[in-house]
């Protein structure tokens, strides 16, 4: 008799240690297939659907919606189809320990774990989940059928032992030979195998050459579509779907009184998810980084007029003002590279701490984006190699991705310097907190009409304020002031600067 398999919560990307269970997509007693989404979890960076690496019957759900789960702890227990299944067990029951499987399966599992540790660059390591393009698999419609009956009235078919073994072996490989990053799901790989499609010669339409289901379906057309196996969901164990919470969710407390102020407490808001991650990072930044701030008022009239002229000739492809400023920032970081570094602390041979400044060959420019889930800082990778128009397109794409909650860890955690446009909130300046472990952040205030002296006369000009907060450990005021002045001069004389870029 096959033993119950326990699926441990995987590392959802780049060192995250926990995730909050938002919603179960399956219930105890459901039959699931390989790569089927089983739960929605929220990390400090994004909302993710977790797919199952096993096919079978759900035996135990290890957690309740709203509970924070540690990476490496049991998420779900699955009993292979055909095995004797005990009565449905509530999630509070004792955990089912992972057991040893047959030698071939053990080798497969070990290979799978090795690949998981190595990382695939996707949100879920080794599962072929598309990364960072805002396309999430939707959950199937809940059916209200009785147990053991499908919509057509035909009994649900069972998976053979051979099919189960094939599903396990599919976990051995998650990459197409010779195609780095062309990660596909076991479900898609199996479809290709069943229809004789050579994945090595198939061009994927997804990110980084990701081979999608539609790519395989196109390769096997015009073969008739195979009717997917319907899966019955027990009505009595089905859990209602919970809508994802906003970043701030208050819990009413009743007639509680605060002992310090004597005032009634109206609500308590748990610090979790994105808000918790922001709090931890900002606290670390302020406690570790000896920051200093410099600022300057800038006449942005020439930049505003230049963009207006470009918009008249090409209204649909003219970059926004932020994209032009981003281009000036990347050029300034090339000129003052100390602000595009990172301080790394290591343990020396004597057991003490040693620090070094790490410089980078290129700029990953982060920018602050306000979302319903809180403040996010996606980064434009290799921004120093992009034109203003390319930067504009990437900034717009990443803004949409983070607001949908589909940004990948690499899109959120790879910045080397941050640009913060707080002018959209109608403010002029801010003593910003550096996005640890970076060493600098440049803020841009609102652009408003102000009196300005031009050629000895007072005129009304478009003025903004630039504020640079920097880590005083990596550079002194000379470099910080030089960088700030370079960006300011570029905004005031954009034509002359752009000709040299």
Q: Is 186 exposed, middle or buried (0-12, 13-18, 19+ CB in 10 A)?
A: buried
Told to judge if 436 belongs to the known catalytic residues of this protein, a careful annotator would answer no
Nearest to 71 by CA among 103, 44, 34: 44
Taken in order 387, 393, 396, 398, the sign of the CA dihedral is negative
Cβ atoms 133, 206 nearer than 8 A: yes
3-state secondary structure of 444: strand
**Cis-peptide into 115, omega within 30 deg:** no
Asked if residue 75 lies in contact with residue 8, where contact means CB atoms within 8 angstroms, the answer is yes
164: left (phi over 0), alpha (psi -120 to 50) or beta: alpha
Question: Token match 């509530």: residue?
Answer: 90
Q: CA nearest 386: which of 376, 403, 368, 398? A: 398
Contact 373, 273 (CB under 8 A): yes
Q: Are 402 and 376 in contact (CB under 8 A)?
A: yes
Angle at 326 between CA 320 and CA 332, to 5 degrees: 145
Say how far apart CA 449 and CA 452 lie, in whole Å.
9
Give 353: exposed, middle or buried? Use CB within 10 Å, 0-12, 13-18, 19+.
exposed
Radius of gyration of the CA atoms of the chain, in A? 27
Distance CA 77, CA 98 (A): 9
Residues with catalytic function = 472
């Amino acid at each position: 008799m096959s033993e119950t398999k326990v699926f441990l919560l995987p590392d959802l990307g780049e060192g995250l240690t926990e995730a909050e269970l938002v919603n179960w997509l399956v219930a105890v007693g459901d039959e699931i297939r390989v790569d089927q989404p089983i739960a929605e979890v929220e990390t400090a960076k994004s909302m993710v659907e977790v797919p199952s690496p096993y096919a079978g019957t759900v035996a135990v759900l290890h957690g309740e919606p709203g509970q924070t789960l540690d990476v490496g702890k049991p998420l779900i227990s699955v009993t292979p189809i055909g095995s004797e299944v005990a009565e449905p067990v509530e999630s509070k029951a004792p955990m089912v320990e992972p057991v040893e499987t047959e030698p071939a399966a053990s080798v497969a599992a070990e290979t799978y774990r090795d690949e998981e540790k190595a990382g695939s660059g996707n949100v879920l390591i080794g599962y072929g989940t598309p990364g960072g393009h805002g396309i999430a698999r939707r959950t199937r419609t809940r059916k209200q059928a009785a147990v053991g009956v499908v919509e057509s009235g035909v009994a649900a078919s069972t998976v053979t032992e051979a099919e189960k073994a094939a599903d396990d072996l599919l976990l051995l490989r998650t990459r197409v030979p010779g195609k780095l990053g062309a990660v596909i799901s076991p479900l898609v790989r199996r479809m290709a195998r069943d229809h004789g499609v050579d994945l090595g010669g198939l061009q994927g339409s997804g990110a980084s050459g990701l081979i999608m289901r539609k790519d395989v379906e196109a390769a096997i057309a015009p073969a008739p579509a195979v009717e997917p196996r319907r899966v019955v969901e027990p009505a009595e164990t089905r859990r209602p779907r919970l809508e994802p919470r906003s970043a701030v969710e208050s819990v009413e407390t009743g007639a509680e009184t605060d002992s310090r102020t004597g005032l009634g407490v109206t609500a308590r808001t748990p610090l979790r998810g994105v808000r918790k991650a922001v709090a931890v990072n900002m606290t670390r930044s302020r406690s570790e980084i000896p920051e200093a701030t410099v600022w300057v008022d800038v006449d942005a009239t020439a930049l505003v007029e230049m963009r207006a002229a470009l918009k008249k000739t090409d209204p649909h492809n003219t970059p926004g003002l932020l994209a032009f400023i981003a281009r000036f920032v990347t050029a300034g970081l090339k000129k003052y590279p100390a602000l595009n570094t990172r301080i790394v602390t290591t343990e020396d041979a004597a057991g003490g701490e040693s620090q070094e400044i790490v410089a980078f060959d290129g700029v990953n420019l982060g920018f602050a984006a306000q979302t319903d889930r809180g403040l996010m800082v996606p980064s434009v990778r290799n921004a120093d190699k992009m034109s203003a128009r390319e930067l504009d397109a990437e900034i717009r794409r990443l803004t949409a991705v983070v607001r949908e909650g589909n940004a990948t860890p690499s899109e959120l955690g790879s910045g080397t310097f941050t640009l913060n446009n707080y002018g959209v909130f109608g403010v002029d300046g801010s003593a910003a907190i550096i996005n640890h472990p970076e060493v600098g952040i440049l803020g841009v205030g609102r652009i408003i009409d102000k009196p300005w002296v031009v050629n000895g006369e007072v005129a009304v000009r478009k003025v903004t304020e630039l504020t640079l907060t920097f880590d005083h450990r990596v550079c002194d005021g000379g470099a910080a002031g030089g960088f700030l002045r370079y960006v300011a001069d570029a905004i005031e004389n954009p034509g002359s600067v752009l000709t040299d870029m």
